[in-house]
Structure 1
Amino acid sequence: MLRRLALTAAASVAVSVAALSGLPAAAQAGTPAAAPAPAPATAPVDRLTVTVTDSAGGGDGTYVLKCHPTGGNHPEAADACARLDEVTVFGTDPFAPVPRNAMCTMQYGGPATAHIRGTWAGRPVDARYSRTDGCQISRWNALVPVLPATSA
């Protein structure tokens, strides 16, 4: 009985030492441990899919915009990435919808709509845009050239 207690205490001390040293207990006992997973070779790319309809300015279509590094088939990829970098501020969402209680001018900016989805700054994006009132027009214009400038 005394011998069993001594062995249990010794095993407990070995596990505690292994935990404190940051190495698995198996490595402390001379057994090889599994290697840690390798880190990704490159940082994740900011990638957005932008779909625009009824813009009346020739910007209709679906485009892929990649930033950091710049790529994709967006017609103004470098300028669009620069604009997104400019409006991305810690603590705010550059794709946030207009607040429900916002007072907006009753003006119509045309039938254009857009849908932006993907990943930006490590966060998922799923945002819809229109030009149905002053607030929506302002929100759209804040993202030009990610979204096309419209003539309406």
Structure 2
Amino acid sequence: MFQVAAPRALLLPVVVLLGLGGVVSPAAAHGGRYGGDRLAVTVSHAGSADGTHLLRCHPGGGDHPDPSGACRVLDRRTRWGRDPFAAEEPHGLCTMQYGGPAVARVIGTWAGRPVDVTYDRHDGCAVSRWDALVPVLPGLGQ
């Protein structure tokens, strides 16, 4: 009976290793075409900051005015199980501070997930949310 148990004990690691053969990297999952994180940032009603810029991270690039700074901010905000673009829950009341008519939309892919989010500056909480993403979004401090 002991002779039968020994081969079963050796079989388990082999089965586990064979099972890992199905685990693929992000690059392989995208057919080898995975080019990192890509975002299009469109800003309007912000004067000279208006326009659309492509931001690429990992590796960095695009025509964004500050790709390395923007990628650094997004990397710092990225945590497992947390959307770096999600609105923070206010810990109190939002001020009635109007930050101007600027609107930004960010679309693309970040950390393998689709992104489609809009920002504005209609009150103090929205201004803080916008400012937390500078330089992904332009700094419009007034």
The aligned runs of 1:1-40 (5 Å cut-off) are 39=28, 40=31
Equivalent of residue 131 in structure 2, options 141, 146, 150: 141
The aligned runs of 1:89-128 (5 Å cut-off) are 89-97=79-87, 99=89, 103-128=93-118
Q: Which amino acid aligns with 1:131?
A: R
CA distance in 2 between partners of 1:130 and 1:42 (Å): 34
CA distance in 1 between partners of 2:99 and 2:124 (Å): 8
Q: TM-score, normalised by structure 1?
A: 0.68
The structure number with the bigger radius of gyration is 1
Residues paired across the two proteins, number: 115
Measured on the aligned residues, the alpha-carbon RMSD in Å equals: 2.1
Runs of 4+ with deviation above 4 angstroms: 98-102
- Tell whether the 8 Å contact from 2:102 to 2:121 is kept in structure 1 after alignment: yes
Tell me, which stretches of 5 or more residues in structure 1 are unaligned? 1-19, 23-38
User: 1:97 deviation in Å?
Assistant: 3.2
User: 1:94 deviation in Å?
Assistant: 1.2
User: 1:55 deviation in Å?
Assistant: 1.7
Tell me, which stretches of 5 or more residues in structure 2 are unaligned? 1-14, 19-27
Deviates more, 1:70-79 or 1:39-48: 39-48
Whichever structure has more helix as a proportion of its residues is 2
User: 1:103 deviation in Å?
Assistant: 2.8
- Tell whether the 8 Å contact from 1:130 to 1:140 is kept in structure 2 after alignment: yes
CA distance in 2 between partners of 1:94 and 1:61 (Å): 22
SS of 2:117's partner is: strand
CA distance in 2 between partners of 1:101 and 1:131 (Å): 18
